[in-house]
Amino acid sequence: MDVISVIRTKRDKGELSPEQIDWVIDAYTRGEVADEQMSALAMAILLNGMNREEIARWTAAMIASGERMDFSSLSRPTADKHSTGGVGDKITLPLAPLVAACGAAVPQLSGRGLGHTGGTLDKLESIPGWRALLSNEEMLHVLDTTGAVICAAGDGLAPADKKLYALRDVTGTVEAIPLIASSIMSKKIAEGTGSLVLDVKVGTGAFMKNIEDARELARTMVGLGTDSGVKTVALLTDMSTPLGLTAGNALEVRESVEVLAGGGPADVVELTIALAKEMLEAAGIKDADPAKALKDGSAMDHWRRMIAAQGGDPDATLPVAREQHVVTAPSTGVLTRLDAYDIGIAAWRLGAGRARKEDPVQAGAGVELHAKPGDTVTAGQPLLTLHTDTPEKFDYALKSLSGAWDIAEPGTEFAANPIVLDRIA
């Protein structure tokens, strides 16, 4: 085998053989294939695609590059969830303890934010003392004693993917559907969960801007999971407007706790319950009522135990940004659009996100929404509040919001997109 012939095969729209795929993933992981060579192959895959057999083999090779976890010792069935990322997407925070309260074990390996999309680990790290890095033994202990764990994937889990993901991020190949699907599914299959629900975001604030691309990605991932013996289903959900009323780390934790307390924004509650029902059904749990578990306090009890088990203080005061700037509505009428991507960019520029993996984030930074599409607003009323520790960032963030909303004449009828757009199984 040599890497040049592998690159040429895909460059010329050929099908990579199982032997070529196994060799190139192993050689890249060991450092025998250079970054610039794998960059060329990733770009060829972006441009020319892969068939189902190639994607399945690519995924299997990445799984084989590291260890596989085993949750067979648990007394509960396991169910996991993965979101492709969006703005204000704090769903994992209330969802994991909710599903645990209903009888499943939730081994949630999560990631950090990059660019305009927020990261679950960054949000939880705004809780004083909370730890994202757990050993496999610690992860299993938290899962066994609390029913849910949210943590970072260990270095031994699909190391080929970790290396390739970092490369894709700096070479313009993040959007390649075969590489997105294999990246997500290699980690989830290696994680060892028995069932998996995928939340594939669609809209301006998502990586998949149109529903056709989202369906292709969802079908690819559902196929990979099914072929590997993991019961997998995908929901396509709207990400044209931010989820909830906050985008930013501590801001989203605060809103998630409101949901666990039986309140919170209607769209966050709706999607949390929809995903919980899918996870419980996939895990074979038929008689649980996630809506009831939010109302009766049992989901909150599981949240508190989960946070404490990872060193966090569930009663601690969350960080608050030192500076705020209020953006007011320029006219009176019906808010018909509030662009998720623009809000995400503003939150990122305020310090809630990072441009590079090693960049720090501000726990209190972000954007607070005072209205959502469909609401009537009055000229001069607060529309958004920007939060940051560094007020010199306000002007930079405001530039991203210059075309972020539309306000129609008073009385204009407005029909919002449904939260769940489609289901792939």
Query: How far is Cα 177 from Cα 166, in angstroms, rounded to an integer?
Result: 16
Query: How far is Cα 39 from Cα 45, in angstroms, rounded to an integer?
Result: 10
How do 333-338 and 323-328 pair as beta strands? Answer: unpaired
Q: Could you tell me how far CA 406 lies from the centroid of its own chain?
A: 27
CA 185, 106, 285, 243 dihedral sign is: negative
Q: Could you tell me how far CA 291 lies from the centroid of its own chain?
A: 22
Nearest to 184 by CA among 211, 220, 209: 220
Q: Is 370 a catalytic residue?
A: no
Q: Is 356 a catalytic residue?
A: no
Exactly one of 80, 122, 161, 342 is catalytic; name it: 161
Query: How far is Cα 44 from Cα 54, in angstroms, rounded to an integer?
Result: 14
Q: Is 161 a catalytic residue?
A: yes
Q: Could you tell me how far CA 210 lies from the centroid of its own chain?
A: 18
Exactly one of 10, 81, 187, 277 is catalytic; name it: 187
CA distances from 175 to 42, 117, 231, 325 (A): 10, 14, 25, 34
Exactly one of 110, 183, 186, 195 is catalytic; name it: 183
Q: Is 168 a catalytic residue?
A: yes
Exactly one of 10, 57, 82, 112 is catalytic; name it: 82
How do 405-408 and 420-424 pair as beta strands? Answer: unpaired
Q: Is 162 a catalytic residue?
A: no
Query: How far is Cα 108 from Cα 195, in angstroms, rounded to an integer?
Result: 12
Exactly one of 90, 168, 201, 215 is catalytic; name it: 168
Active site residues: 82, 161, 168, 183, 187
